[in-house]
Amino acid sequence: MSKFWSSLVSQLKPYVPGEQPKMERLVKLNTNENPYGPSPRVLEAIRAQLDERLRLYPDPESEQLCSVIATCYGVSPEQVFVGNGSDEVLAHIFQGLLKQDRPILFPDITYSFYPVYCGLYGVESQLVPLTGDFEIDPQDYLVPNGGIIFPNPNAPTGRALPLVEVERIVAGNPDSVVVVDEAYVDFGAESAVTLVDRYPNLLVSQTLSKARSLAGLRVGLAIGHRDLVEALNRVKNSFNSYPLDRLAQAGAVAAFEDEAWFNETRQRVMDERARVTLAMTAMGFEVLPSSANFIFARHASQKGADLALRLRERGIIVRHFDKPRIDDFLRITIGTAEQNDELLQALKGLVN
Ligand code: PMP
């Protein structure tokens, strides 16, 4: 390694993102995108921005978007923070709120960006093992800590904690910031946003990449006590402002204004999830109960890595993690009915 690399950079272990292959005609079920596409109103709103106003900087505070989100969730606009995807929102959270004297807690099997941010921002962490059923046990989070973060539903397991259990963690840690990463919450879990006015230590992050089908637009948000949001704005404004661009702001506003599209498409994903789960269970898979737009499943006799490889040979890409305890599992995004049929057909040929 070159002597010019600082010791910090040479020690970083960057996140390895899910593959975004360029080939056409792939059944792409590896990065939990929404198969149905965004609301037509989003496309219209973005097109309406395509004029000479692009020469102007966007609103650095994303005021209109924050107030639409606030109305949607019944909070005040000062309780809403937005960023370029929830990954950026989480980056600000790690940097600004989770660097404390004690290690932060998160599950040992979870979103693999958390350890990356810890490395980047010098945040100490302590991993909390999931239970034998791959669940988060709230009791394990009632110990001294410098902060807590977990996804609900968890990724890549898809398992969700009921709101009362989330509340146990939040209420049991009044001196720590508790971050609930709700990237997948709209597919059947209960949101902790309803708790933010009672718990000043709670911050909930969400994304428009999944249920609102806008992964390509990069919009994420956090909702919490106004002091926590003010802290995030300070971090954001310490980097040359980092606003959402004009198209992202306009598109995101339109996405929140089309509740009918949001509800219809997420219901379709949930219906398809139930169908795929039943069919795979009948083929000998154990499918963990999922509240997300993906399922996490292992076969009784086939290795996860082999199955992933053989699906790929048939043009179907799913996610496999080469990690202890979960290396027999596949994480499969719920696609359109046609994509799911192709998946089920291929699996039938492979496991029989
Ligand atoms: N949290 C979790 C648990 C995720 O799986 C993802 C998506 N990979 C994100 C956050 C980030 O999503 P985005 O940056 O697209 O909002």
Q: Which CATH number covers residue 161?
A: 3.40.640.10
pLDDT for res 17: 75
CB of 151 closer than 6 angstroms to any ligand 1 atom = yes
CA of 224 to the centre of ligand 1 (A): 18
Cα–Cα nearest to 332, from 185, 207, 155, 182: 155
Query: Domain check: are 182 and 229 in the same one?
Result: yes
Q: Are residues 147 and 110 in the same domain?
A: yes
Residues 115 and 249 in one domain: yes
Atom of ligand 1 minimally distant from the CA of 220:
16
Cβ–Cβ under 8 Å, residues 81 and 229:
yes
Ligand 1 within 6 A of CB of 83: no
Residue 6 has what pLDDT? 67
**Domain assignment of residue 4, yes or no:** no
One domain for residues 165 and 296 = no
Full 3-state SS string of 228-274: HHHHHHHHHHCCCCCCCCHHHHHHHHHHHHCHHHHHHHHHHHHHHHH
Q: Which residues pair with 295 in a beta bridge?
A: 332
**Is residue 170 domain-resident?**
yes
Residues of the chain with pLDDT under 50: none
Domain finish residue from 229, 258, 287: 258
| 153 Cβ inside 6 Å of ligand 1 | no
Does some domain include residue 67? yes
Of ligand 1's atoms, which has the minimum distance to the CA of residue 90? 10
Model pLDDT, residue 143: 98
- Among candidate residues 258, 277, 292, the one where a domain is terminated: 258
Q: What local confidence, expressed as pLDDT, does residue 18 receive?
A: 77
* 152 CB near ligand 1 (under 6 Å): no
Residue 268 near residue 52, CB atoms below 8 Å:
no
* Choice from 19, 20, 86 to test ligand 1 binding pocket (greatest atom count within 8 A of CB): 86
- The reply to whether 166 and 78 lie within a common domain is yes
Q: Are residues 109 and 148 in the same domain?
A: yes
Residues 252 and 290 in one domain: no
Pocket of ligand 1, candidates 30, 32, 87: which has the most ligand atoms within 8 Å of its Cβ, to mutate?
Answer: 87
How much is the pLDDT for 3?
Answer: 65
Does the bond joining 115 to the residue before it have cis omega, within 30 degrees of 0? no
Same domain, 113 and 254: yes
The burial class, CB within 10 Å (0-12 / 13-18 / 19+), for 257 is: middle
Q: 3 lies in a domain? A: no
Pocket test for ligand 1, best of 181, 182, 204 (most atoms within 8 A of CB): 181
- Does any ligand 1 atom lie closer than 6 A to the CB of residue 183? yes
pTM: 0.95
Closest CA to 127 of 110, 152, 113, 144: 110
Domain at 292, CATH number: 3.90.1150.10
Residue 5: predicted pLDDT:
58
Q: Give the separation between CA 192 and CA 185, rounded to whole angstroms.
A: 9
Task: Give residue-wise pLDDT tens across range 298-345.
Answer: 999 999 999 999 999 999 999 999 999 999 999 999 999 999 999 999
* Ligand 1 center–CA 21 separation, angstroms: 19
Protein residue with least CA distance to atom 6, ligand 1? 183
Convert the pLDDT of each residue in 32-79 to its tens digit. 999 999 999 999 999 999 999 999 999 999 999 999 999 999 999 999
Residue 111 Cβ contacting ligand 1 at under 6 Å:
yes
Give pLDDT, residue 9.
66
Domain match, 128 and 244 both: yes
Q: What pLDDT does residue 15 have?
A: 77
Q: Whose CA is nearest to atom 1 of ligand 1?
A: 183
Specify the number of domains making up the chain. Answer: 2
Closest listed residue to residue 178, CA positions, set 237, 138, 218: 138
Q: How far is it, in rounded angstroms, from Cα 100 to Cα 84?
A: 25
Residue 1 maps to a domain: no
Report ipTM for this prediction: 0.99
Nearest to 92 by CA among 235, 237, 205, 202: 235
Query: How far from 154 is each of 129, 293, 296, 297, CA to CA, in Å?
Result: 13, 11, 11, 14
Is residue 189 lining ligand 1, measured as CB closer than 6 Å? no
Q: Does 182 share its domain with 284?
A: no
Q: Is 117 within a domain?
A: yes
Final residue of a domain: which of 237, 258, 279?
Answer: 258
- 2 in any annotated domain: no
Q: Do 198 and 327 fall within a single domain?
A: no
322 and 190 within one domain: no
What's the domain range around 84?
Answer: 40-258
